[in-house]
Amino acid sequence: MTREQTIEAIRVMQAYVDGKEVEVQRPIAGSVWLPASEPRWDWFNSNYRIKPTKTLRPWTADEVPLGAWMRFKLLPSTRLIISSGTLSINFKQWLEDREHSLDGGKTWLPCGVEEESK
């Protein structure tokens, strides 16, 4: 293992010791990541990683779904999103206190994008 690979291995193993979920990828099983509840730490025949977690970030102006319905989480009134083109829009505020619907109000989703993070 290179120095960098050893540093990453230590980071993953320390995360496991700290109680975080770790995943294993075995080349013979393809590119599928599986839970490693009791890892054997075979770094030469397997890959290991800390299980990615999903985080929610605010939309950018290009990601706003025009034509969707929007409402304040605490109020039942809805509005149609027709534009995202003003500089006064605070997308972080939208993520915190609003939600949107793409199906006419049947289901409501956060005003943001879900991403995987390490």
pLDDT of 88? 58
The three state secondary structure string of the chain is CCHHHHHHHHHHHHHHHCCCCEEEECHHHCCCCEECCCCCCCCCCCEEEECCEEEEEECCHHHCCCCCEEEECCCCCEEECCCCCCCCCCHHHHHHHEEEECCCCCCCEECEEEEEEC
The pLDDT, as a whole number, for residue 80 is 67
In a 13 Å sphere around the CA of 54, the CA atoms on its Cβ side amount to 4
Percent with pLDDT over 90 in the chain: 52
- Residue 85 is predicted with a pLDDT of 57
Q: How confident is the model at residue 33 (pLDDT cuts 50, 70, 90)?
A: very high
Q: 10 φ, ψ to 5°?
A: -65, -40
pLDDT digits (tens, 9 = 90+) for 65-102: 888 888 888 876 767 666 665 555 788 888 898 899 99
- Mean pLDDT for the chain? 87
